[in-house]
Every structure is written in structure tokens, then in C-alpha cells.
Amino acid sequence: MKDQTSSANKLVALVTGANQGVGNEIAKALAANRYNVYVGSRKLDNGEKAAAEIGENAKAIQLDVTRQQTINEAVVRIEDEHGRLDLLVNNAGISHGGTAPKSPEELMSTGRAVNVSLDEVRAVWETNVFGVIAMTQAALPLLRKSTAARIVNVSSGLGSLTWITDPECWAREHFGIVYAASKTALNAVTVAFALELEKEGIKVNATSPGYTATALNNFQGTDSLEAGSREPVRVALETDGPTGGFTGPEGPLPW
């Protein structure tokens, strides 16, 4: 049954991959700003633990963006409980196809164009690219019921072809087909949705947390989670900002 009072007084957000890392920081910030936040998590137990730590404005929701059934069930639940969605944060992402943590050096040794496994590419792109498309398409009917709908895609500076091809770019050696190129593709997906949905007043933006210490890089990033989450949180909370943008910790990023 839809909670009419809650829906009227609070904005409704869904954050995928929100049980840890940047997604969890975004969910915390949204809840602190009186959002009803759905904490998306592949494993429901992890999501429930994270939601309990966030507080009463957070609810766990089982969501694996590579499984259409869980996407559909999540959308049905949000519709039943609130009738709309004001903010979708596509944060869920993986850096490799395995389960054991890998250092950035290990990721690059198997992710270069000359030796990369197509199975590895497919596994990562299934979450980082196709999962975002599937989740966004499924959420659109609920987003269209909002008066100020926004979509935020958590990307990476590594996805910027302009930056990565600059001879002075320090990260050139870190560009591979698996993770980095998946973020380039995500940026293209972001632009495509932004151009298509602008006519409906739905804003779509990409944001990078920078080189943040998270499970994606086996916690070897140089920026703290608090610092790295600052820009994604800002973009997620911004209800009257632009559309079709790509920003990072230091401001606008080139596509």
C-alpha cells in the first residue's frame, strides 16, 4: 500500500550498489536530507545491514542489475510504496569478473587490449553498462511521475577519452578495455539518455568520485571515501542543476 504522507513530504531515491562504498555514502546523504532511500544491494542481508545503520529513512531492496527479474521487482515495490521515483543513482559497478580482490596492477595486467579475455569484458560491461541501461529503462515510468526527476550515473575520470589521450595524462597506463572502457561506454549511455529525456524535463548526469579507496581498487585509491564521495553526493542532491554534464572532484570533466 502506498504511503501517501511519506510520498508527499519526502523525495524518493533508489541507489544501486548502496550497501558499501560511494553508493552507501550517497544513500546516507540522501537520507540525512529527508529522502526515502532504497538501498540497492545484490545480497539482501548486506543491504539490510547498511539500511539499518543509515536509519529510518532507508530501506533495503534486493537488486542485481544484471538480473532483469530483480530490477522489475524493485520497480514494482517502489511503485507500490510511493507511486513515483524522484532520483535514480546508478552506482553499482565492478572492476573485474572475479570474486577475489585485485590490485590496480593486477587489473591492468589482464585488462589490456592485447590480452584481455572477452569473458572478462562481458562480465564487467554487463554490470557497468548494460545494467545501467536496463535499470534506467525500467525506472523511467516511475521517474516520469516525478516533478523533478533526475538520473545520476557514477562514472570515472578514466572514462574520459579526451583526458586519457592527452600525452600529459598520468592515468594513460591505467586505461584498459575492461573497467576504464566500460566507463567510457557509460558516459556515452549517459549522453544518449540525457539527449532523449531532456524534452521530458528529466535530468541525466555522470559524476566521478576520483581515485577513491573502495573495493573496486582493493582500497588502494589515494582519496578517502569521504573526499571521493563529495562530488557524487553533491550531484545527487542537486535538484535544479543542469543536464548532460560530467563532473569530478575538481569540477567539469571532458567527455
| Residue 12 lies inside a defined structural domain of this protein | yes
**Residues near 156 by Cβ (< 8 Å), separated by ≥ 6?**
179, 180, 183, 208, 209
Residue 56: exposed, middle, or buried by beta-carbon count in 10 A (0-12, 13-18, 19+)? Answer: exposed
Q: Per residue in 167-192, pLDDT tens?
A: 999 889 889 999 999 999 999 999 99
Residue 106 lies in a domain: no
Q: 224: pLDDT confidence band, cut at 50, 70 and 90? A: confident
Establish if 167 belongs to a structural domain. no
Stretch 2-18: mean pLDDT, rounded?
75
Q: Is residue 165 part of a domain?
A: no
Task: Tell me the per-residue pLDDT of 28-41, one tens digit each, with 9 for 90 and over.
Answer: 999 999 999 999 99
End-to-end alpha-carbon separation of the chain, Å? 43
Domain hosting 214: range is 4-96+129-157+183-252
In terms of pLDDT, which residue wins out, 254 or 109? 254
Classify residue 230: in a domain, yes or no.
Answer: yes
> Total structural domains in the chain?
1
Q: How far, in Å, CA of 207 to CA of 93, rounded?
A: 13
Q: Is residue 247 part of a domain?
A: yes
Which residues are catalytic, by number? 179, 183
102 in a structural domain: no
Q: Which pLDDT score is estimated for 93?
A: 94
Tell me, what CATH number does 229's domain have?
Answer: 3.40.50.720
Mean pLDDT of 138-158: 97
**Predicted pLDDT of residue 5:** 42
Domain membership of residue 224 (yes or no) is yes
